[in-house]
Each structure stands twice: as C-alpha cells, then as structure tokens.
Amino acid sequence: MFEPKRTGLGIQYVVESVLNLSKDKRLQPYFFKLILKSGLRIILQVTILFYAVSWL
C-alpha cells in the first residue's frame, strides 16, 4: 500500500540531509551542480511515480 505520511517523512528526511550537507562550504559547488543536473529529472520521475501510484 502507498502511505503518503511515510513518503512525506522520507522526502522531509532527504531534504533535511541535503540541506545539512549543503551547509558545508566545501561541498556547496558540488551540490549545486548535482541539483541543477538531476533536479528536474528527479522531480519528473517523482511526479510520474506519484500519478502512477494514485491511479492504482
């Protein structure tokens, strides 16, 4: 079964982890490049996944 609450917590955890890591000045350029490269693709995949699951 799809559990929005658990998924929401997972997303929140990932976001917090990325934000904590991005506070490290040495890693910031790497994270910005990574987010720019993969951000749109990830958003697209999550959106498609969400719609696919909601149709079940």
Size of the chain, expressed as the number of residues it contains: 56
Domain count, the chain: 1
pLDDT band at 1 (very low <50, low <70, confident <90, very high): very low
11 in a domain, yes or no?
no
Residue 23 DSSP class: T
42 in a domain, yes or no?
yes
Cβ–Cβ < 8 Å for 30, 18? no
Cβ–Cβ < 8 Å for 48, 40? no
15 in a domain, yes or no?
no
39 in a domain, yes or no?
yes
47 in a domain, yes or no?
yes
Cβ–Cβ < 8 Å for 56, 2? yes
User: What pLDDT score was predicted for residue 4?
Assistant: 54
Containing structural domain, residue 54: 24-56
In order of 12, 17, 33, 43, the CA distances from 30 in angstroms are 21, 15, 5, 19
pTM summary value: 0.32
pLDDT digits 0-9 by tens, 3-53: 556 656 666 777 777 667 656 667 667 767 777 777 778 788 888 888 888
